[in-house]
Structure 1
Amino acid sequence: MRLAVALTLSVASITSPRAHIVSSGSGHARVVVLTFDAGADRGYASSILRILERNHLHATFGMTGRWADQNPDLMRQMARDHDTFINHTFDHQSFTGLSTGLRPLSTASRSWEVEETERAVRRLTGQTTKPYFRPPYGDYDTATLVLVRRLGYRYMVMWTVDSLGWQHLPARQIVSRCLSLVRPGAILLMHVGSQSQDALALQAIVDGLRHRSYRFETVPELLAGA
């Protein structure tokens, strides 16, 4: 019986619709997407929003439910600024345990992480995170792709360039890294937390990309042009 159930689940995972993994655009246009994950402290979020507003830019935020609940004022500002929200789970637990060394989350726990974040974002902003999901640490498996698709998330948004600001790189190295690795259609991954100097590098990154004739898009705009 157990074998039969296991085989049934395995076949279901193979045949069920899955979220589409997106790590870049088509590359046909000189566009770049700025994404910021918000999973730790309030950090430099206010500074990032000021820089975006000053440069007339919209960004995409990988939002954890816990961060949203703790920062309702910033959530509402992001919504007013027409930024995009990606579901980044409630408290940033690895679904698979690959990056943390912990046990994988159960299907029920994974579902709660996703659905509770959607409820938080909706309650605070009236907006939805669907159809965009980003797994904590970038950890996912086939079951993740199937589950989030079933929950209404058609796209698993990854990235082309990780600024590595979360590894405590100084701002000048973040700028150099992002500008050297960027390519048409790139999705840049940065963070709002105080452990990262991404905010301190942001204006120089924007200036450098504009000097190279890049345009800025959100994730929905990138996918619409794919």
Structure 2
Amino acid sequence: MTMLPKAFPWILSALLIGSLGAFSPPDAVAQVIKSGPSSCPGIALTFDLCPVRKSPGYDQALVDYLIQHQIPSTFFMSGKWIAKHDAEVEHLLGIQFFEVGTHGEVHAHLPMHNADEQQKEIYAPVKLLNEHYAHEATLFRPPYGEYNDTTLDVVKLLGLRFIQWSIESGDPDPTLTADQILARIEKRAKPGSIVVLHANGKGKQTRAVIERLTTEILPRKSLKPMTVSELLACKQRNP
């Protein structure tokens, strides 16, 4: 089983014994990453897996397309979603060109909670993936994209990378057509962009958007899909 970093035991002990205020804050807060290097001709397609009230809560057609065309993608799973989608979690973790990060436990509004509550919300899915799937998740995206200084402290202490986005697709909005979503992405897409979409079934147009995005728009802009980690590590310069 893949183990968490050696720093985790003392970090978690401190967090569980008392609030963050009980000990010194980190020397630097977590860096909020919204994009990769502009010198890299890549773009990260990321998919949030937030909990949903109605089944199935999983966009099978979208995932099938990504797999069929071997499109590198990054998924951010909430703990509540993981608990109801064991087979899907196993499947996504088994795809070599997919990357899995976390998205909070119950998709809480983090700024409304204290340090201890935020720690539990952020760490729970990390622990679940490690203990039940032998997966070390190092990427974290806050629910709703919301955070405050306490969130940054907790993320830093847990040794996670704080991933936001530079392009909000708007795909959960039922009033937006595929054309409107694509126009929104195309206008903002550039080297190093990180796009946020959804794979939990909330994006009714997401499958169609991804097909046209990867076959028309990205090739036209000379942008290559990458996972978030690949994008952040990319050093290649744009021609």
1:144-159 residue pairs with structure 2 within 5 A? 144-153=151-160, 155-159=161-165
Q: Distance in 1 between the 2:80 and 2:57 partners?
A: 14
For residues 141-165 of structure 1, the C-alpha deviation after alignment (integer angstroms, 9 at most, x for no partner) is: 1111111111121x21000101001
Q: Distance in 2 between the 1:91 and 1:200 partners?
A: 28
3-state SS of paired residue (1:109): helix
Q: Distance in 2 between the 1:163 and 1:116 partners?
A: 27
1:20-35 residue pairs with structure 2 within 5 A? 20-35=31-46
1:198-213 residue pairs with structure 2 within 5 A? 198-207=206-215, 208-213=217-222
For residues 142-198 of structure 1, the C-alpha deviation after alignment (integer angstroms, 9 at most, x for no partner) is: 111111111121x21000101001222222211221112111110000012333222
Q: How far does residue 44 in structure 1 lie from its aligned partner after superposition?
A: 4.5
3-state SS of paired residue (1:190): strand
CA RMSD of aligned residues (A): 2.1
- The residue aligned with 1:178 is 185
TM-score of the two chains, using structure 2 as the length reference:
0.81
2:73 is matched with which residue: 50, 59, 65?
59
Residue segments in structure 2 that go unaligned for 5+ positions in a row:
1-19
2:141 paired with 1:129: no
Q: Distance in 1 between the 2:154 and 2:202 partners?
A: 31
For these two proteins, the number of residue pairs brought into alignment is: 209
Q: Which moved more, 1:180-189 or 1:169-178?
A: 169-178
For the Cα contact (< 8 Å) 2:40–2:231, is it kept in 1? no
Q: Distance in 2 between the 1:123 and 1:45 partners?
A: 25
Q: Distance in 2 between the 1:29 and 1:39 partners?
A: 29
Q: How far does residue 12 in structure 1 lie from its aligned partner after superposition?
A: 4.6
Q: Distance in 2 between the 1:136 and 1:192 partners?
A: 15
2:76 paired with 1:81: no
Q: How far does residue 79 in structure 1 lie from its aligned partner after superposition?
A: 0.8
2:127 is matched with which residue: 119, 127, 132?
119
Q: Classify 1:124/1:59 alpha carbon distance in 2 versus 1 (closer, same or farther; 3 Å).
A: farther
The amino acid across from 2:94 in the alignment is: R
Q: Distance in 2 between the 1:206 and 1:70 partners?
A: 30
TM-score of the two chains, using structure 1 as the length reference:
0.85
- The residue aligned with 2:113 is 105
Q: Classify 1:183/1:214 alpha carbon distance in 2 versus 1 (closer, same or farther; 3 Å).
A: same
For the Cα contact (< 8 Å) 1:72–1:124, is it kept in 2? no
Q: Distance in 1 between the 2:219 and 2:132 partners?
A: 33
In the TM superposition, structure 1's runs of 4+ consecutive aligned residues that sit over 6 Å from their partners are: none
The amino acid across from 1:172 in the alignment is: D
Q: Distance in 2 between the 1:25 and 1:152 partners?
A: 19
3-state SS of paired residue (2:194): strand
3-state SS of paired residue (2:151): helix
Q: Distance in 1 between the 2:202 and 2:234 partners?
A: 34
Q: How far does residue 225 in structure 1 lie from its aligned partner after superposition?
A: 2.0
Q: Distance in 2 between the 1:194 and 1:179 partners?
A: 22
2:182 paired with 1:167: no
The amino acid across from 1:67 in the alignment is: W
Q: Which moved more, 1:62-71 or 1:191-200?
A: 191-200
For the Cα contact (< 8 Å) 2:57–2:201, is it kept in 1? yes
